Structure 1
Amino acid sequence: LTPIFCIGEVLEERKAGEHFNVVKAQIEGSLFSLSAEDFGKIILAYEPVWAIGTGETATPEQAEEIHAYIRGVLAEKYGQEVADNCSILYGGSCKPSNAKELFANPNVDGGLIGGASLKVEDFMGIVRAW
């Protein structure tokens, strides 16, 4: 069993420019008690709360920016090797129309697919984008 730990901000926090602080606090408060070895056994997913079930999604640039930031937070605590080896998924309304652009980012390691997984055509479109 591999746990997937979701982190993300609400729309008000993003608009206020607090999304980096919010995500860092979530990681530090929930995961920094783990050893580097145990941390290597989990997957992170950035899932902006404002995108869940709304059809809204982060732009590929926003996704890359926050994923790179998350990786940097991990590197500060656990070192670059652990940060580089951690899978960080994007989970905010990933769909066939945006999957290819999201997955093209070097710090986005895949998708946490929600509603789109309920429709075979949509899910397969995302899989093909990978």
Structure 2
Amino acid sequence: GTVTGRARRCGWLDACVIKYASYINGLDSIAITRLDILDELEKLKICVAYKYNGEILEDYPADLDILSKVEPVYEEFDGWKTSTTNIREYDKLPENAKKYLKRLSEVIDTEISIVSVGAGRDETIIIKDIF
């Protein structure tokens, strides 16, 4: 969108694949970048599991054939509908943004240590002992 001028589209976050990536890479924490992109959305969704043949799978399937046939199971969140761009402290984020981040951390079983709210280096929130 930056070069072409077309509107950017956001897909929903697949927390199952992030949980798997975190596990296989031994991550202690992750960074969430460009939270500000979500600022104007009415609703947000996180894929928290997959449905396969009527069964709920909470873990990323190792079998690619199964993976190609799963249906995402989403949890829906209210958006915050306010700019986060100038926020530099976690406590000052909108409540719905904090709920979204907290639930994401729970699902992926990994702490979130950095949240950026823009493209600049100074648009970063360092999080300690929250999740």
Normalization by structure 2: what TM-score? 0.33
Bigger-Rg structure (1/2)? 2
The structure carrying a bigger strand percent of its residues is 2
Q: Which has the higher helix share?
A: 1
Higher relative contact order (CA 8 A, sep 6+): 2
